[in-house]
């Protein structure tokens, strides 16, 4: 069985999705879970793109031990230097440099000739090799590049010291046979190609990202790139959980596989969805809520007689056991802590105490606490960043009747420590809350998107709200959970504002040092 390396770019290409903005603590939490999922390489971000990305990549490189940590860089010395400062703490420092090679990109975006592109690519790889033992070079828009030019530039960057060559279908235009043929062409025509790792990176604009990736493996790729839940620019990247499960389930057909820990898939997918605020479509392959649901009578009958009539993947394979009731109202701190450890959380005593308090409050309202609830509660404790003064919800009250105008009264503690109170109306309860909060926070808010979902099943399930807005002209997303969706909505709204405030503070701090 040929082993295929898994390169996860949830925290870089995935984080580039519209509406996602993760802070350092959230990125670190996802990176630790990707390590448990057994990704061979984790692309933690783009260190030169912002102070926040730099800090997150550095923290992840310092923390993650069993996966290689990398960061993206343009083919310029300053990006490579910044990346080194963030990535030098990794067990095996790895950089990912890219440069576009298609006529469209070279002419219109780079405004460079093919000869100039070859020179820049070679120079950047040579420069990166002064620091990094592992250098991945990507030909952006490789699929729409001239095949002979691709052969030439790849040959030169291998001579310059690149250790991995990545050939992306940047705009998701390829079909499986075409994408596979590009790998075969390079394999057959580039001297020295067998000394480097060949990597596939597919976008899903035409819904073929996973199929194209498999075609690349069949034609010589040793590494696959993708994201959890298929997040990414536009229609997203190849979904890694789908790839890993497809290669596992169809072992009868494929002569290759990954080392992904399949029973970490469900947890990884839920965590990414929770922290990014990107809901998973119910019928999504492998991790959708309905992926194992059998609705029709004929199917249910078949399942009862013999599961394999309609089931090719078992929920257990991907670690789906989260609806189990694990703790209740009478569970003590000891049982709670043991369960947190068993679920893989490493929390300080102080954080366990805070989480236990939140657990007790929840258990008072909800008799049975499921594994889903615990994950949300413990993750929320884990990602609490260092205390900086932000807005804090004190109370929210809504008056609603189908014959009257909904009115909300809200009080918050401001970042300066003042108690602020306001009331406002709206066409519905949520709008009344948003209108009131807009009066309370200083700055200009423009709401872009709002969503509520339930965590787990049952009528007493926790409600999660996600709010996407621009605040003072910058896009930001907030999320929070509560037993009541109106409270969750108010908290998610403030969470979006607070993220923006923390980012602004970081930016002004960075300018002063």
Q: Which residues bind Zn ion (CB under 5 A)?
A: 13
State the binding string over 422-441 for ligand KIV (x if CB under 6 A, else -): --------------------
What one-character-per-residue DSSP string does 218-270 give? HTT--EEEEBGGG--STT-B-BHHHHHHHHHHTTTT-SEE----GGGHHHHHH
At 504, give phi and psi (nearest 5°). -60, -40
- Contact set for ligand KIV, span 98-117 (CB under 6 A): 98
Give CA–CA dist 136/453, Å, rounded. 39
Q: Which of Zn ion, ligand KIV, none lies near 322, with the C-beta cut-off 5 to 8 A by kind?
A: none
Whichever of 199 and 322 has its CB closer to Zn ion, that residue is 199
Whichever of 175 and 483 has its CB closer to ligand KIV, that residue is 175
Q: Which of ligand KIV, Zn ion, none lies near 140, with the C-beta cut-off 5 to 8 A by kind?
A: ligand KIV
Of 31, 4, 1, 3, nearest to 15 by C-alpha is 31
Least distance from C-beta 98 to ligand KIV, angstroms?
4
143 binds ligand KIV (CB under 6 A): no
Q: Which positions ≥6 away from 489 have C-beta within 8 Å?
A: 430, 433, 434, 450, 452, 465, 467
Whichever of 93 and 172 has its CB closer to ligand KIV, that residue is 172
Count residues near ligand KIV (CB under 6 A). 9
Residue matched to tokens 């990707």: 34
- Figure out which of the listed residues 32, 58, 59, 201 binds ligand KIV, where binding follows CB under 6 A: 201
Whichever of 42 and 374 has its CB closer to ligand KIV, that residue is 42
Of 309, 273, 306, nearest to 289 by C-alpha is 273
Q: Which of ligand KIV, Zn ion, none lies near 145, with the C-beta cut-off 5 to 8 A by kind?
A: none
Least distance from C-beta 142 to Zn ion, angstroms?
11
Of 247, 163, 245, 233, nearest to 197 by C-alpha is 163
Whichever of 58 and 203 has its CB closer to Zn ion, that residue is 203
With contact defined as beta carbons under 8 Å apart, do 14 and 232 qualify? yes
Give CA–CA dist 410/426, Å, rounded. 13
Look up residue 66 and give its two tokens.
């069993």
Whichever of 138 and 258 has its CB closer to ligand KIV, that residue is 138
Whichever of 14 and 176 has its CB closer to ligand KIV, that residue is 14
Whichever of 176 and 236 has its CB closer to ligand KIV, that residue is 236
- Contact set for ligand KIV, span 241-300 (CB under 6 A): none
Whichever of 141 and 487 has its CB closer to ligand KIV, that residue is 141
55 binds ligand KIV (CB under 6 A): no
| H-helix or E-strand spanning residue 38 | none
- Nearest residue to Zn ion by CB is 13
Answer positive or negative: Cα dihedral of 456, 459, 462, 468.
Answer: positive
In 102-231, beta strands by DSSP E = 134-140, 164-169, 197-202, 223-226
- Figure out which of the listed residues 5, 8, 13, 320 binds ligand KIV, where binding follows CB under 6 A: 13
- Figure out which of the listed residues 29, 40, 140, 320 binds ligand KIV, where binding follows CB under 6 A: 140
Least distance from C-beta 412 to Zn ion, angstroms?
40
Least distance from C-beta 16 to Zn ion, angstroms?
8
Q: Which of Zn ion, ligand KIV, none lies near 98, with the C-beta cut-off 5 to 8 A by kind?
A: ligand KIV
Of 463, 459, 458, nearest to 492 by C-alpha is 463
- How far separated are the first and last CA of the chain, in Å rounded? 52
State the binding string over 153-192 for ligand KIV (x if CB under 6 A, else -): -------------x-x-x----------------------
Give CA–CA dist 101/108, Å, rounded. 12
138 binds ligand KIV (CB under 6 A): yes
Whichever of 138 and 468 has its CB closer to ligand KIV, that residue is 138
Whichever of 180 and 232 has its CB closer to ligand KIV, that residue is 232
With contact defined as beta carbons under 8 Å apart, do 384 and 25 qualify? yes
Give CA–CA dist 256/279, Å, rounded. 31
Of 190, 112, 200, nearest to 158 by C-alpha is 190
Alpha helices (H) in 289-370, listed in sequence order = 297-305, 333-342, 349-365
SS3 124: helix
Least distance from C-beta 140 to ligand KIV, angstroms?
4
Least distance from C-beta 134 to Zn ion, angstroms?
19
Least distance from C-beta 168 to Zn ion, angstroms?
6
Under the rule (CB under 6 A), what is the footprint of ligand KIV?
Answer: 13, 98, 138, 140, 166, 168, 170, 201, 203
């Amino acid at each position: 069985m040929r082993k295929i390396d898994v390169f996860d770019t949830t925290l870089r290409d995935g984080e580039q999705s519209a509406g996602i903005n993760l802070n350092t603590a959230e990125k670190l939490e996802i990176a630790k879970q990707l390590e448990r999922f057994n990704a061979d390489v984790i692309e933690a971000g783009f260190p030169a793109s912002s102070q926040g990305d730099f800090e997150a990549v550095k923290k992840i490189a310092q923390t993650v031990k069993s996966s290689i940590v990398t960061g993206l860089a343009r083919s310029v010395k300053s990006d490579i230097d910044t990346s080194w400062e963030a990535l030098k703490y990794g067990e095996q420092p790895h950089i990912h440099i890219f440069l576009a090679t298609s006529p469209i990109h070279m002419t219109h975006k780079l405004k460079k000739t093919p000869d100039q592109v070859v020179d820049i690519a070679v120079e950047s790889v040579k420069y990166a090799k002064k620091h990094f033992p592992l250098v991945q070079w990507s030909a952006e828009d490789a699929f729409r590049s001239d095949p002979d030019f691709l052969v030439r530039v790849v040959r030169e960057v291998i001579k310059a010291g690149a250790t991995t060559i990545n050939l992306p279908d940047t705009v998701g235009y390829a079909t499986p046979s075409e994408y596979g043929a590009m790998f075969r062409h390079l394999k057959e025509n580039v001297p020295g190609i067998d000394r480097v790792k060949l990597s596939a990176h597919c976008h899903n604009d035409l819904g073929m990202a996973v199929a194209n990736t498999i075609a690349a493996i069949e034609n010589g790729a040793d590494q696959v790139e993708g994201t959890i839940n298929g997040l990414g620019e536009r229609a997203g990247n190849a979904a890694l959980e789908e790839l890993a499960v497809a290669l596992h389930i169809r072992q009868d057909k494929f002569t290759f596989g990954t080392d992904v820990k399949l029973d970490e898939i469900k947890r990884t997918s839920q965590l990414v969805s929770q922290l990014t605020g990107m809901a998973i479509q119910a019928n999504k392959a492998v991790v959708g809520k309905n992926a194992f649901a059998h609705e029709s009578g004929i199917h249910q009958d078949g399942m009862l007689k013999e599961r394999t009539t309609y089931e090719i993947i078992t929920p257990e394979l991907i670690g789906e056991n989260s609806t189990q009731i694990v703790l209740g109202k009478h569970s003590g701190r000891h049982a709670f802590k043991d369960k947190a450890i068993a679920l893989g959380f490493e929390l300080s005593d102080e954080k366990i105490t805070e989480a236990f308090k939140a657990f007790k409050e929840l258990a008072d309202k909800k008799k049975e606490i499921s594994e889903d609830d615990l994950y949300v509660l413990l993750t929320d404790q884990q990602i609490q960043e260092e205390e900086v003064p932000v807005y804090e919800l004190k109370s929210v009250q809504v008056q609603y009747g189908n014959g009257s105008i909904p009115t909300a009264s809200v009080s918050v503690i401001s970042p300066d420590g003042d108690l602020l109170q306001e009331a406002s109306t709206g066409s519905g309860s949520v709008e009344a809350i948003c209108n009131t909060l807009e009066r309370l926070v200083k700055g200009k808010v423009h709401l872009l998107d709002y969503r509520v979902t339930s965590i787990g099943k049952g009528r007493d399930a926790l409600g999660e709200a996600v709010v996407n807005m621009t605040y003072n002209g910058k896009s930001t997303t907030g999320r929070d959970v509560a037993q009541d969706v109106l409270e969750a909505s108010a908290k998610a709204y403030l969470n979006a504002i607070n993220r923006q405030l923390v980012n602004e503070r970081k930016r002004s701090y960075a300018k002063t040092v």
